Amino acid sequence: MIEEALILAGGLGTRLRGVVNNVPKPMAAVEGRPFLEHLLDYWIARGVHRFVLSVCHLHQIISGHFGSRYRECEIRYVVEKEPLGTGGAIIESSKSIDSPRFLVLNGDTFFEISTDDLCAFHHENKAGISIALRRLKSNSRFSPVVCNDRGLVTGFLPQGTPCEPCYINAGVYIFEKNAIQANAVWPAPPLSFENDMMPEIIKRGVVFGKAYDNRFLDIGVPEDYHAAAAFFRPC
């Protein structure tokens, strides 16, 4: 069981402006509650009891809402004085993680997976990073992930590359802390995790991906944000 999670909650949410423009994207209201509450509830139910939130844009709204504890779980905040990018945020925020192994979660996506299953896959492959992949029938929006038959990730295709079927990064990872510490020096931020860091880590042969068909939601664009209420509404 993994007990710590790092949540990337510092994005500017530029694609949602005009729909959600007065709060950080993870705090967008869904069924009367911030999206981030839904995300925390899901992972608390799966054994996570300590969260590190990487925050930047309007970060006081997030820390003011949750404080240092939520449902008896500890919350720590790493505030980006300037946007660090996803890679820079992971490097900086991982310093506040105590465990050698932890989850990394996108603050604007929701993916229903079995952490036990992904953990077993992670251990089996002695992975440095394991990515939960969402299988799509087709693609016009995301950056497809390329894997071999064993699930070893060999690269990412450009955003919107058409493919059938397609495997995308669903924003749930298992990280070994030494997977990012193995590089003594990373470029100065802002730093993209997928574009700047992953190619270097992939070269070491320690990044694996496992595909799932489970329910997936990305609230990063207006049409999917508007669909979020139905996603969380009880059947």
Strand partners, 153: 147
**Residues 73-93 pLDDT 10s:** 999 999 999 899 999 999 999
Could you tell me if residue 58 is left (phi over 0), alpha (psi between -120 and 50 degrees) or otherwise beta? left
Asked which of 100-104, 157-161, 190-194 is least confident by mean pLDDT, the reply is: 157-161
Domain ranges of the chain: 4-232
Mean pLDDT (whole number) for 34-43? 97
Binned at pLDDT 50, 70 and 90, residue 47 comes out as very high
How far apart (Å, rounded) are the C-alpha atoms in residues 35 and 25? 8
Fold of 4-232: Spore Coat Polysaccharide Biosynthesis Protein SpsA; Chain A (3.90.550)
Burial profile 43-65: b = 16 or more Cβ within 10 angstroms, e = fewer: bbeeebebbbbbbbbbbebbeee
Put simply, whether the predicted model's pTM sits higher than 0.75 gets the answer: yes
Q: With 0-12 CB in 10 A as exposed, 13-18 as middle and 19+ as buried, what is 140?
A: exposed
